[in-house]
Amino acid sequence: MAEPESDLVPGAAYRPPEEPLRVLHADRHVLVVVKPAGLLSVPGRGPHLADSLATRAAALFPGARIVHRLDRDTSGLLVLGLTVKAHRALSIQFQERRVGKAYAALVAGHPARDRGRVDLPLAYDEANKPRQRVDPAGRPALTEWQVIARLDGHARMRLVPVTGRSHQLRVHMLALGHPILGDPLYGDAPAPRLMLHAEELAFAHPAHGRAMRFRDPAPF
């Protein structure tokens, strides 16, 4: 499965980080890893885009299959299934929105309130590939947000995507008037990288149903 076009910025060279895969949990059914920023979740089209989280995981854990994705420039927690049955069970949890996810982000400026939600439908922006845009005729998208800290010129946010649309958090923060720092598509606030990290992940173990909760603090 090739990485969707929406994750590949035209003209940008692909230089994936060389750091080894960081594994937080592995058993016979489930693998939880931390994807570094700059690494594709799955291979893109062509040999120059072959390196990805999925291929690195499969090299270490044969049979590993990715369940969900993060944008190339987003870092953080990902879960993979190590058997066909586990992969299917995890995929159903994501489809039915029974998975807990929360992201850490640094955004430009200070929101007027301490918490809120963005409920704006999103659609692919055909005129400005690979961007997404707010579109009343698009797919429903809902993000809950909370200000964690107000810093010098920017804010640390906790973002909870209730839905899982492509680029959802990035477009919703832009619509809120506070784009994520370092975003090459939706903002112009400089930063060493896209300041977005999948920090929390919770799901039911596909074999025994026990609650699994993971947290990886943002590296920024």
Burial class of residue 52 in the structure, from the number of CB atoms within 10 Å of its CB (0-12 exposed, 13-18 middle, 19+ buried): buried
71 is catalytic: yes
What are 214's strand-pairing partners? 201
- Please pick, among 7, 27, 51, 71, the residue that the annotation labels catalytic: 71
Active site residues: 71
